[in-house]
Amino acid sequence: MEIKQSPFAPKSYPELPDIDGISIFAGNAAIKYKNRPDVFLAVLDDNTSSAGVFTKSKTRSAAIDWCRATLKNGNAKALLVNSGNSNAFSGEEGIKAVEESMQAVANLIGTTAQSIYMCSTGVIGVPLPYQKITSKLDGIYKSGKCSWQDAALAISTTDTFLKMHSIKIGEITINGIAKGSGMIAPDMATMLAYIFTDAKISSDDLQQMLSEINEQTFNAITVDSDTSTSDSLIAFATNKKEVDKQKFRNGLEKVMMNLAHQVAKDGEGATKFIEVEVTGAENDKAAKKIALTIGNSPLVKTAIAGEDANWGRVVMAVGKSGEAAERDKLSIKFGELLVAEKGKAAPSYDEEKVSAYMKNQELKICVDVGVGNGKAIIWTCDLTHQYISINADYRS
């Protein structure tokens, strides 16, 4: 089966700048992929702050447990990522694979294993053949620094394009790379995302910003409602340059939002990028639940794939969310077109106009549920034949 590239893939990739205090390396350990980098190593200067958000899955991988411990230790010296095997649900052997990999990196760069993060992505249930990584580490390190594009490639799996973004805030830089395409749902949504900056910011401040912004970005996208066992978002700040905290926060939000949108746009089989905005809910949490119920509904997603102005399915999804909604005050807009209000089709509803709107590649659905002031926005993609092809045939 041929996997088609997402129509949202960029024509070319941006060249991300170096970050003062961070050296990046990539290489091939042939864990699953043979002719491309599948190992990414970031080595961090002393005094680098770090923060992280990890999957809430009860069947999280051994690497996730390791990262949580590293995060507590508070001293980040390196990050190791491999693709091709998630080392999740791999028992004692899986734990050993993390420990051995971390010790190998520690020996390589002269630090302690407890100050290194590790993430693995790929098939679940097979212990990571860590010797493939540890035997190659020295060579990868000595081959010299890699490009950010190589780094983004090394962490990717079924992605049809690489997710990278960078911004400048005065002197400082924020780089981000992410991977993710299927098994995408909040808690966390990304599978893997990494943020690197030379800004001076404490681990506590970075963690607070990361957790807050995460709710409106990576935790507000969904592809298929499924949650990975390895989802991780980690940020590193090398503390090289002073920055205004609010300006930094705004920049961080821009990078995270951009990467989150890229992940939804590369949702398996995606042909449409959809923004769902819910207003008038009991509170913001209820609004998000309604928005995600719409965004996860197979019937809504297939209607959009078919460019069918079937707004009745949006009504259905609101109804099943379990959150308070006033049927007879409900209003729905597709883009700027009012399709329903006061519990029925809008008098101005013009199916031809709405059908024309559905042909757009980027769509917006706005729903007001008529109860209170809660609001939320989430992003998702449509559900197409290509999703079935990828997931019925692909052994992840």
178 three-state secondary structure: strand
CB of 226 to its own copies, least distance (A): 5
Distance CA 54, CA 194 (A): 12
Task: Kindly give, in sequence order, each residue whose CB lies less than 8 Å from that of residue 110, ignoring residues fewer than 6 positions away.
Answer: none
Q: Which of 226, 242, 350, 362 binds its own copies (CB under 8 A)?
A: 226
Stretch that binds its own copies, among 92-100, 243-251, 253-261, 357-365 (CB under 8 A): 92-100
Residues 53-82 that bind its own copies (CB under 8 A): 55-60
Q: Which of 52, 182, 251, 374 binds its own copies (CB under 8 A)?
A: 182
Does 83 sit near its own copies (CB under 8 A)?
A: no
Question: Dihedrals φ, ψ of 152, to 5°?
Answer: -65, -35
Q: Which of 185, 274, 358, 381 binds its own copies (CB under 8 A)?
A: 185
CB of 179 to its own copies, least distance (A): 17
CB of 219 to its own copies, least distance (A): 13
Please count the residues of the chain: 396
Residues 338-357 that bind its own copies (CB under 8 A): 340, 342-345
Closer residue to its own copies, CB minimum distance, 315 or 378: 315
Cα 32–Cα 151–Cα 65 angle in degrees, nearest 5: 70
Question: Dihedrals φ, ψ of 209, to 5°?
Answer: -60, -45
Does 232 sit near its own copies (CB under 8 A)?
A: no
Q: Which of 13, 89, 161, 357 binds its own copies (CB under 8 A)?
A: 89
Stretch that binds its own copies, among 8-16, 143-151, 209-217, 226-234 (CB under 8 A): 226-234
> Is the CA virtual torsion 137, 117, 131, 36 positive or negative?
negative
Q: Is 190 a catalytic residue?
A: yes
Task: Kindly give, in sequence order, each residue whose CB lies less than 8 Å from that of residue 320, ignoring residues fewer than 6 positions away.
Answer: 293, 297
Residue 168, Cβ density class (10 Å: 0-12 exposed, 13-18 middle, ≥19 buried): exposed
Does 106 sit near its own copies (CB under 8 A)?
A: no
Token look-up 């883009």 returns 335
CB of 2 to its own copies, least distance (A): 15
Cβ(277)–Cβ(369) under 8 Å?
no
Does 94 sit near its own copies (CB under 8 A)?
A: yes
CB of 38 to its own copies, least distance (A): 19
CB of 396 to its own copies, least distance (A): 7
Q: Which of 49, 70, 197, 228 binds its own copies (CB under 8 A)?
A: 228
Cβ(264)–Cβ(178) under 8 Å?
no
Size of the residue set binding its own copies (CB under 8 A) = 71
Does 316 sit near its own copies (CB under 8 A)?
A: yes
341 three-state secondary structure: strand
Token look-up 């809660």 returns 374
CB of 241 to its own copies, least distance (A): 39
Q: Mask 119-138, x = binds its own copies (CB under 8 A)?
A: ----xxxxx-----------
Residue type at 264? A
Closer residue to its own copies, CB minimum distance, 197 or 228: 228
369 three-state secondary structure: coil
Distance CA 129, CA 164 (A): 28
Which one of the listed residues 134, 173, 190, 293 is annotated catalytic? Answer: 190
389 membership: H or E segment, kind and range: helix 385-393
List, in sequence order, every residue forming a beta bridge with 374; answer none if it has no partner. Answer: 281
What the block records as the tokens of 58 is 């009860």
Residues 255-314 that bind its own copies (CB under 8 A): 296-299, 302-303, 305-306, 308, 310-313
353 three-state secondary structure: helix
Stretch that binds its own copies, among 91-99, 111-119, 135-143, 192-200 (CB under 8 A): 91-99
Closer residue to its own copies, CB minimum distance, 109 or 345: 345
Closer residue to its own copies, CB minimum distance, 46 or 326: 326
Distance CA 107, CA 99 (A): 12
CB of 314 to its own copies, least distance (A): 9
Positions marked active-site: 190
